[in-house]
Amino acid sequence: MRPPLGPAFSTQLLLWFDAHQRALPWRGAPSPYAVWVSEVMLQQTRVESARHYYERFMQRFPDVAALAQADEQDVLQHWAGLGYYARARNLHRAAQIVSREHSGKIPDDPTRFASLPGCGPYITAAVQSIAFGAPLAAVDGNVKRVLARLDADPFPVNHTRAHRHYLPRAQELLSPHRPGDHNQAMMELGALICTPRNPDCPRCPVAAFCTARAQDTAHRLPVREKKQRAPLRHFVSVILVHRRRYLLFQRPAKGLLGGLWEFPSTERTAQETAQEACARYVHALTGHSGAVPQHATQLQHAYTHFRLHIDVYYCPVPSRALQAPTQLPHRWLPLDDVADFPLSSVNQKILRWAQQHNARP
DNA sequence: AAGCCGGGGAT
DNA sequence: ATCCCAGGCTT
């Protein structure tokens, strides 16, 4: 049996939030557009990671019209390094829809807003409650953790149906008077007090309502399903140079790192060394068989579903002709111009290496 | 329902 | 090394 909470819970929560919330760039009477941009950036992304990107993005695209008119490459350029690039592409498309079909005004109707690309249940509840006062509970990773502890609920928070499971409880607790602040307060509580490890129960404003606190089991909640470890894959990236110009490819519009640019790269098979893979790739790319790739550096990186080991090579070639036209857009660029293209985090590291070594190993 | 999609900070 | 974050889309 759950303790009867009623409005007492949100009263205590909001008192704490009013006194202890962090000063963040998207707080303090933000425009609906500012709320939207911040919520999209904060998906699966910590506040401190998104903060700088948010400031820069809002300076460059201050309103829906500015974003709608922008070139997608410009939008990606301001997102490069933040990850989950479909967020940027969807936000850009959504801004164009708002501009064309809603006279530039962000819909204050949850159903219409939810039909925009990138606007799922969480974004919709967050934006509609914070910007327009709609009484919709926003359920993210923080909220699920807080609720799991509040009720000592063993339902795994990373289960496919976790959102469906925790939403009714979140909705029942939601303050009808200040739904936007209540939603932010739940997330702020999860970020500052009810943290994944070592929750600070003595300083929790709603500890009196918490079943896990009463049972002293907060440190063992929430329950989480095991997931298998990401496999390791080996890639070779090559800094291909012809007369101080560097070859860059653009990745396909969809899928991993969609629309971003990168130094040429290929996956290494188990049967070849990195050096052999690089020579094989350069030959396939340029037809030039006498290439002697020089090892530049190694990088490690982790994506959600696999880990990456990358050997980076430096390889001058005698011609700019490409043998097998890869269908993918490419450019031969002066090193100083490469940074003007949206690069993934890994390729930003490769670029920095090239700059530091002045293009020579 | 399960898989795909980034990156970094905390532990 | 592992976890996990202001999740949504595709299949």
Beta bridge partners of A330: A249
The residue behind tokens 């690309």 is A117
Distance A340 CA to C4 C1' (A): 31
Q: What is the mean pLDDT of chain A?
A: 93
A132, two tokens? 């327009």
Distance A49 CA to C4 C1' (A): 14
For A286, other C-beta atoms within 10 Å of its C-beta total 22
Kindly list the catalytic residues of A.
Answer: 39
pLDDT (tens digit per residue) in A347-357? 999 999 999 88
User: Mind listing the pLDDT tens digit of every residue in chain A (361 residues)?
Assistant: 455 566 899 999 999 999 999 999 999 889 999 999 999 999 999 999 999 999 999 999 999 999 999 999 999 999 999 999 999 999 999 999 999 999 999 999 999 999 999 999 999 999 999 999 999 999 999 999 999 999 999 999 999 899 999 999 999 999 999 999 999 999 999 999 999 999 999 999 999 999 999 999 999 999 998 877 678 899 999 999 999 999 999 998 888 999 999 999 999 988 999 999 999 999 999 988 888 899 999 998 888 888 889 999 999 999 999 886 667 899 999 999 999 999 999 999 999 999 988 645 5
Distance A27 CA to C7 C1' (A): 21
Q: Which nucleotides of B are covered by protein (CB under 7 A)?
A: 1-11
Per-residue model confidence (pLDDT) at position A1: 46
The residue behind tokens 């922008």 is A70
Among chain A residues 256-275, those with CB within 7 Å of any atom of strand B: 256-258
Using C1' positions and the CA of A196, the closest nucleotide is: C4
pLDDT (tens digit per residue) in A168-224? 999 999 999 999 999 999 999 999 999 999 999 999 999 999 999 999 999 999 999
Instruction: Say how far apart CA A152 and CA A147 lie, in whole Å.
Output: 8
* Domains in chain A, CATH or no CATH each: 7-220 (1.10.340.30), 232-356 (3.90.79.10)
Cβ of residue A141 lies below 7 Å from strand C: yes
Among chain A residues 182-221, those with CB within 7 Å of any atom of strand B: 195, 197-198
**Phi-psi sector, A275: left (phi>0), alpha (psi -120 to 50), beta:** alpha
pLDDT (tens digit per residue) in A124-163? 999 999 999 999 999 999 999 999 999 999 999 999 899 9
Per-residue model confidence (pLDDT) at position A328: 86
Cβ of residue A196 lies below 7 Å from strand C: yes
Closest residue (CA) to C1' of nucleotide B11 is A197
